[in-house]
Amino acid sequence: MRVRTTAAVAAVSSLALLTGCGAADMTKQASPFANAQGAKTVTLSVQSWVGAQSNVAVAQYLLEHELGYRVDTVQVDEVPAWDALSQGRVDALLEDWGHPEQEQRYVKDKKTIAPGGELGVTGHIGWFVPTYFAKKHPDITNWKNLDKYADRFRTPESGSKGQLMDGSPSYVTNDKALVKNLKLDYQVVFAGSEAAQITQMRQFAKEKKPFLTYWYSPQWLFKKVPMTEVKLPPYKEGCDADPEKVACAYPHTPLQKYLNADFAKKGGKAAAFLKKFKWTTEDQNEVSLMIADKKMTPEDAAKKWVDSHESTWKKWLS
């Protein structure tokens, strides 16, 4: 027993020695890869969709080439990103699709995260069918007619019902409740990741097969696979308050930026720049298409955009 206590005491005291005695601040811990070789570093969080990659790519390019920062990027899902932001593991989140619970906790109560203003892009989630199918069957664009086509959307995975394909588990979705509450003859199949969902959509499109999918705009894939939205019962403020009873469409959300509160105050030029960063849906799509479809590296895509849109980004630096 004595040996074990000695060992424990030794372990704890060496821990304390190594880190400097006293309390450790869990809110101030940057990545060990940051500020290597004496460079000022900004850490940006990237979400798994390409639009988010485009924001980060352009911000990163400008921070590195115009302001002389080194930029680290960390890929995290939205909810964990809020957590990371509050702890200072990342400095900024450039595209948030609305997380009222997190906002209440971190921005209003704990004040560890500061709002960074609007991104300039408005997001919208909905149900989509490929345009080649909607042209042939125009009545598909109303949810009331969906059941009529259920058998056209059938796959081995959805069994005897039509397949409504959903994407990544990190996305905001009411689709299971919607199918149930609108009494549709559909089965929600979760693709499990956006990459899987996109791959499947492109395979369907190659063969001009009909499909029904949860999707969102802005999104570069619309340029490759034109899609038409299916009208759901209209959205009214608060109609999605009870997740069990939702029976209406998704809202249009002006996407927001958030910064770590400390960084917002002391981040100097980088923080000021990120607060001013604001572009349009078209801008974002232009970069996204280069990354996702032309398979350019995010850096090359950002450079190309930056070279041709000087007037847009000059404003962010002033």
Partner 1 sequence: MASITANPPRVGLPGLLRHRVVHKLLLLALAAAILVPLANARWASGTWPSALTLDFSEPLAKASDWIIDNRDSHPLFLYFFGHVSNVVVIAVRAVYLGLLAVGWAGVTALGTLVAWRVAGIRLALGTGVAFLACGLLGMWVPTMQTLALMVVAVLASAVVGVLLGLAAGLSDRMDRVLRPVLDTMQVLPAFAYLLPVVLVFGIGVPAAVLATVVYAAPPMARLTSLGLRGADKEVLEAVESLGSTARQRLLTARIPLARKELLLGLNQTIMMALSMAVIAAVIGAGGLGDRVYQALASVDVGAALAAGIPIVLLAVVLDRVTGAAGEKLGAEPEPHSGRGWLFALAGVVAVAVAGRLAGRLDWPDAWVVGIAEPVNRAVDWMTAHLYSGVPVVGGTADWAGHFTTWVLDPMRDGLQALPWWAVLLIVAALAWVIGTWRTALTAVLAMAAIGVLGVWKPSLDTLSQVLAAVAVTLVVGFAVGIAAARSDRLERALRPVLDVFQTMPQFVYLIPVVALFGVGRAPAVAAAIVYALPAVVRITTQGLRQVDPAALEASGSLGATSWQQLKQVQLPLARPALLLAVNQGLVLVLAVVVIGGLVGGGALGYDVVFGLAQGDLATGLVAGGAIVCLGLMLDRVTQPTERRAKKGA
160 counts as binding partner 1 under rule CB under 8 A: no
Burial 128-153 (b: 16+ CB within 10 A, else e): bbbeebbeeeeebbebeebeebbeeb
Exactly one of 6, 19, 142, 145 binds partner 1 (CB under 8 A); that residue is: 19
18 counts as binding partner 1 under rule CB under 8 A: yes
Bond prior to 298 in cis (omega within 30° of 0): no
Exactly one of 68, 138, 169, 268 binds partner 1 (CB under 8 A); that residue is: 169
Residue 283 CA: distances (Å) to CA of 54, 121, 146, 199: 9, 9, 34, 24
What is the total count of residues that contact partner 1 (CB under 8 A)? 66
15 counts as binding partner 1 under rule CB under 8 A: yes
Exactly one of 1, 282, 295, 318 binds partner 1 (CB under 8 A); that residue is: 295
SS3 label, residue 311: helix
Cβ 52 to partner 1 shortest distance, Å: 8
Compute the chain's Rg from CA coordinates. Answer: 23
Phi and psi for 260 in degrees, rounded to 5? Answer: -60, 135
The residue (of 51 and 267) whose beta carbon lies closer to partner 1 is 51
How many Cα atoms sit within 13 Å of 272 on the Cβ side? Answer: 8
The residue (of 133 and 211) whose beta carbon lies closer to partner 1 is 211
179 counts as binding partner 1 under rule CB under 8 A: no
Q: Which residue has the tokens 């990027």?
A: 73
143's tokens: 């949810």
79 counts as binding partner 1 under rule CB under 8 A: yes
Cβ 89 to partner 1 shortest distance, Å: 5
Cβ 139 to partner 1 shortest distance, Å: 27
94 counts as binding partner 1 under rule CB under 8 A: no
243 counts as binding partner 1 under rule CB under 8 A: no
Closest residue by Cα to residue 240 from 249, 253, 227: 249
Q: 246 and 181 in contact (C-beta within 8 Å)? A: yes
Exactly one of 2, 183, 206, 266 binds partner 1 (CB under 8 A); that residue is: 206
Question: Which parts of this chain interact with partner 1 (CB under 8 A)?
Answer: 15-16, 18-19, 23-27, 29-33, 36-37, 46, 48-50, 53, 72-81, 83-84, 87, 89-90, 105, 110, 112, 155-157, 159, 165, 168-170, 189-200, 203, 206-207, 291-292, 295, 297
